[in-house]
Amino acid sequence: MSDISPAGRPADGGLRASHTDRDTVVEQLRVAAGDGRLTPEELDERLEAALTAKTYGELSALTADLPEAGRPATAAPAQAKDLVRFDQRGSNTTRSGRWVVPASIEARVIGGNLILIVRPGITVDTDDLTVIGGNVRFRTGTDQPAPNALRVELSGRVKGGNVVVRLPRRTFWQWLTRQPRPYT
């Protein structure tokens, strides 16, 4: 089968890829490696190929054996809730792993901390948050614009605690093995 369509134009796989297309594939490869689907050697090999790919066909070959967005191929996409409530007193709450971020988060924090770890492009609006004896801090990088940005509204009350919005950090092992920073 030829890479040229009857109209004389390249078939979809033969179209030239943009920087954004390459970056999207690089991100998918990093997520797959983080999920344990690729070894470090496979990741390095595929990242190099992705960064030098010229066409959609070359890029799609790098992710053909990976599920889209790091989800198992048979899993149904999770549906976002409209509102999630956090009620903590003198403690911290952790929700780890992949989860669908709701449109609104309502928090009541007394004597504890609420730390939101976000990807670049996710905007956290704290205008409806009442803070008594605490702080709201946005760490460096949480204000960088990105395509398909998500806006999350945080409301509620913080008394004697802090709200921190930050990007993911590398673990000591990731730093030691010189793995790239997450989402940079």
Q: Give the model's pLDDT for residue 175.
A: 79
Give pLDDT tens digits for 70-89. Answer: 444 445 556 667 788 888 88
Band (pLDDT 50/70/90 cuts) for residue 6 is very low
Band (pLDDT 50/70/90 cuts) for residue 151 is confident
Question: Do the beta carbons of residue 46 and residue 29 sit within 8 Å?
Answer: yes
Question: Do the beta carbons of residue 155 and residue 107 sit within 8 Å?
Answer: yes
- Joined tokens for residue 29: 């490869």
Which residues fall within 8 angstroms of residue 84, CB to CB, at 6 or more apart?
A: 102, 104, 105, 106
Give pLDDT tens digits for 93-147. Answer: 666 666 677 777 888 888 888 888 877 777 888 888 999 998 898 887 766 666 6
Q: Give the model's pLDDT for residue 144.
A: 64
Give pLDDT tens digits for 34-61. Answer: 778 888 888 888 888 988 988 888 888 8
Q: Give the model's pLDDT for residue 71.
A: 47
pLDDT at residue 13 is higher than 70: no
Task: Calculate the CA 139 to chain-centre distance.
Answer: 16
Biggest alpha carbon distance in the chain? 69
pLDDT at residue 3 is higher than 60: no
